[in-house]
Amino acid sequence: MNYLEESRRMEGELIALRRDLHRHPEIGLDLPETRNLVLDALESLPLELTLRDDDSSIVAVLRGSDAETGIRSVLLRADMDALPVRELTGAEYAFDGEVMHACGHDLHTAMLVGAARVLSAHRADLRGDVVLLFQPGEEGYDGARRMIDAGALDASGVRPDAAYALHVTSARFGSGVIATRPGPLMAAADVLRVVVRGAGGHASAPHEALDPITVAAAMVTALQTMITRRFNAFDPVVLTVGYIRGGTLNNIIPDTAEFHAAVRTFSPESQEAVAGHATRLCTSIAEAYGLTAEVEWETLYPVTVNDPTEVDFLGATAESLFGTHMVATMPTPIAGAEDFSRILQEVPGAMAFLGATAPDADPASAPFNHSPLSLFDEAVLPAGAALLAQLAHDRLASQAFR
């Protein structure tokens, strides 16, 4: 059974759905318009739906052949939320506001709807159940954990034996290329927030004040040195101060200064260690200068770790659909983060990137995801739908099923 041709026949419908989703971007966990569009697209399908009142998640279970129902299942996931970005692409279907589908989640959602339609048409051929997760709140709201806590992984009656997700990119990979790797694929994400408290005064007499700006600057520099001296270069840590604030005028020393840093790690050990090292460093520097520091560490998402067996299966499935020249093994992970990592902590599975660079753009220089200029090639929608459907069908039929 090859689902690519069937998916290609839906290309116009999938593009229309994607554009409708793109015109109605929503942020976080409450996505009422998005959910209604998805439910309308799924309306005629033989799915068991579970909806929640406190978020916009959709769990859809497609029951396969009677002999295997409730015995084995495969999970497919798409995220649905957008970003607080004003679109500058000039696309006729762009939303006129401060919200944009700048990460391609509208494509993910349309592809999973396409997979649901193809699989539903071949329900009798499925040797088990398919769990379709339409997830809100990936962009910093930990929507995956909310769905797991609500029982989404057990929606079919059994824990899935495998889980898969695709993530489109507006650059880096050529359109239609499937790229993934075994082991760490994406980083863990944490946030460091520091408030330095001193004593304000006149800029001409800093010795009569306790200047929090110079101390905050010392912390920013010391944190970079800490990364290179406390962590193995082959288990990298990325710490970037993206926000710093303090003072009102050039001749006033303020009472406080504040900075926030994004922290990315690629192993649980480094994720735990960097929190302790960074906290001690900032508080010690403040104390050395006679000031105090309030340090807050927020743990967001764990490392996205692909199961090697499932990566091999995904790669072989993609090669059978698109050819070996369209499948690439990434030499290193990327420092972006994903809450699909939560699912991969519970279920063996794999995530892959699907190149969706615009046809007239260079993957090496095109605006990447999250940019207000990011454009995605809609021609990849049938390929994504077909790959998701094929993974579910073939994994359920596999004799090596765990």
pLDDT in tens, 84-112: 999 999 999 999 999 999 999 999 999 99
Task: Supply the residues annotated as catalytic.
Answer: 301, 378
Query: Mean of the pLDDT values across residues 196-205?
Result: 97
pLDDT above 90 (res 2): no
Residue 142 is which amino acid? D
Answer whether 220's CB lies under 8 Å from 259's CB. yes
Query: Maximum Cα–Cα distance for the chain, whole Å?
Result: 83
**CATH class (in words) of the domain with range 4-185+303-397:** alpha beta
Residue 65: its pLDDT value, please? Answer: 81
Query: Mean of the pLDDT values across residues 308-326?
Result: 98
| Tokens representing residue 53 in the block | 């009142």
Residue 392: its pLDDT value, please? Answer: 97
Q: Which residues contact 395 (CB under 8 A, 6 or more apart)?
A: 74, 161, 162, 313, 401
pLDDT above 70 (res 27): yes
Write the pLDDT tens digit of every residue in 118-134. 999 999 999 999 999 99
Long-range pairs for 9-13: beta carbons < 8 A, 24 or more residues apart: 10/114, 10/117, 10/118, 10/382, 10/385, 11/379, 11/381, 11/382, 13/114
Residue 243: its pLDDT value, please? Answer: 97
Listed by start position, the domains of the chain span: 4-185+303-397, 188-301
* Burial class (CB within 10 angstroms; exposed 0-12, middle 13-18, buried 19+) of 53: exposed
Residue 67: its pLDDT value, please? Answer: 64
Write the pLDDT tens digit of every residue in 49-77. 999 999 999 999 999 987 667 789 999 99
pLDDT above 60 (res 402): no
Q: Where are the alpha helices (DSSP H) in 150-233?
A: 212-230
Residue 399: its pLDDT value, please? Answer: 59
| Tokens representing residue 392 in the block | 């579910």
Residue 1: its pLDDT value, please? Answer: 74
May I ask the CATH architecture of the domain 188-301? 2-Layer Sandwich (3.30)
Query: Mean of the pLDDT values across residues 227-247?
Result: 95
What proportion of the chain, given as a percentage, has pLDDT over 70? Answer: 99
pLDDT above 60 (res 400): no
Burial of 246-264, coded b for 16+ CB within 10 Å and e otherwise, reads bbeeeeebbbbbbbbbbbb
What proportion of the chain, given as a percentage, has pLDDT over 90? Answer: 96
Kindly report the average pLDDT of the chain as a whole number.
96
Query: Mean of the pLDDT values across residues 268-282?
Result: 96
Residue 385: its pLDDT value, please? Answer: 98
